[in-house]
Amino acid sequence: MKSLAGNQAQHSIAGATVDELLRAIETEHPATRGWILDERGVLRRHINVFVNGELGAQDSHVESEDRIDVLPALSGGA
């Protein structure tokens, strides 16, 4: 996802909810469209969002000093 978001791992974006932040990323970096939110604007099930290290949701409230991590789910095994 980093390569789709301007080859940057960190972004400073204003918003009151995780949803607003994710939509702002899509607006600023159109290549991310469809990778985080689906065609209905819903967080894809293989994407996890953490707010200050705690699992968050699309409607989670955020403050300006909060850290939001957007990570693809990992799976597998041997």
Q: Whole-prediction pTM value?
A: 0.85
Residue 75 has pLDDT above 80, yes or no: no
Residue 57 has pLDDT above 70, yes or no: yes
Question: Hey, what domains does the chain have and what are their CATH numbers?
Answer: 3-72 (3.10.20.30)
Predicted pLDDT at 77: 63
Q: What are the DSSP calls for 1-64, one per residue?
A: -TGGGTT-S------SBHHHHHHHHHHH-GGGTTTSB-TTSPBPTTEEEEETTEE--TT-B--T
CA distance 25 to 40: 16
pLDDT digits (tens, 9 = 90+) for 2-41: 777 888 888 899 999 999 999 999 999 999 999 999 999 9
